Amino acid sequence: MKPVTCYLLTQGGNWQQETYETASRDAGRRARQLRGLGYGVSVSPLGQQITQVGCIRLTLLTVRDVDAALIPPPDKIISI
């Protein structure tokens, strides 16, 4: 299975947000993984964003109401 690549990961006390390239469909795979583990997850489009790697469409995944330290990390994190 292809590794899930996260472009930005931000954590608070009881939440975590992860950003994915929309075209990769990694946000959906990651959401299914986390929901399968019992986490409450929402996925929202961010639209086209200008980043260091160019202009790409991004999707935001939010995990809420859980200790962020307990959430398993994505397979790969690349800071853009």
CA distance 28 to 59: 9
**Domain assignment present for 79:** no
CA dihedral 70, 73, 74, 79 (to 10 degrees): 130
CA distance 29 to 14: 22
Q: Which amino acid is at 5?
A: T
**Domain assignment present for 80:** no
pTM, two decimals, is 0.90
Q: Which amino acid is at 27?
A: A
Which structural domain range is residue 15 located in?
Answer: 5-67
**Domain assignment present for 74:** no
Q: How many domains does the chain have?
A: 1
Per-residue pLDDT of the chain (80 residues; tens, 9 = 90+): 788 999 999 999 899 999 999 999 999 999 999 999 999 999 999 999 998 878 999 999 999 999 888 999 999 998 77
